[in-house]
Every structure is written in structure tokens, then in C-alpha cells.
Amino acid sequence: MKIKINDNWKLISGNDNVTNYHFFDLPEDAVIANLPCYTHMYIEDHVGISWYQNDFWVDEIPSEKEIALLNFEKADFRVEVSVDREIIGVHTGVEDPFNFDV
């Protein structure tokens, strides 16, 4: 089963208030972005830290003999990925695909 979650991500600049946001607590008035994208496509002249958040659910939980991969097409430098408010992995790289077993 494959689920695409590219649409309707909350997006904010993290440059001004890095310590005031938790990775799971973006404001309701965040910009809505579709991925893949660069932050400056949605927030004019943005350079620096960005926070993205998306909520999704799966209908079927994999068995112990199966794996569930969360795939990303690309990211720009450093990414911390969390699921259910727990960091599941960190990726460093520029525009290369990566995944985490969730």
C-alpha cells in the first residue's frame, strides 16, 4: 500500500522563533504548502530554518514481518522527522531521496 502525503503541509519560517515552536505544534495560521517545494516559494525571500507539519493516518498497521517506510523525495540540507511526536530520524543532504522505517 502506498499513501501520498505531498499536499496540505503547514509551513512557517523558523528563523525568528526557533525555540518557541515544537515540531508538532505549528500555528493554525501557517502557510499551506504542497511538497516538494522550497520555503521561498511560499514565504517571499525566505532563507534559513523552515518548519513543516502534516497529519496523516493509515488504515492498516503492518505486521511484525513487514516494514513501513516514510519516503521523502528530497530535502534541503538537514531534516528531523517525527511521527506521533517522536523523532524517528535525522537526514543531512541536499536534494537526495531518503526514508525512515516507522
Q: What is the pLDDT of residues 23-72, one digit of tens each?
A: 567 888 899 999 888 899 999 999 888 889 998 888 888 888 988 899 99
Here the cell at position 14 is 523558523
pLDDT of res. 84: 85
- CA separation, residue 19 to residues 49, 73, 84 (Å): 12, 27, 20
Here the cell at position 19 is 525555540
What mean pLDDT, rounded, does the chain reach?
Answer: 86
Which residues does residue 75 pair with via DSSP β-bridges, in sequence order?
Answer: none
Q: What is the mean pLDDT of residues 69-83?
A: 88
Alpha carbon 60 to chain centroid distance? 21
| Residues contacting residue 26 through CB under 8 Å, at least 6 positions apart | 10, 12, 51, 53
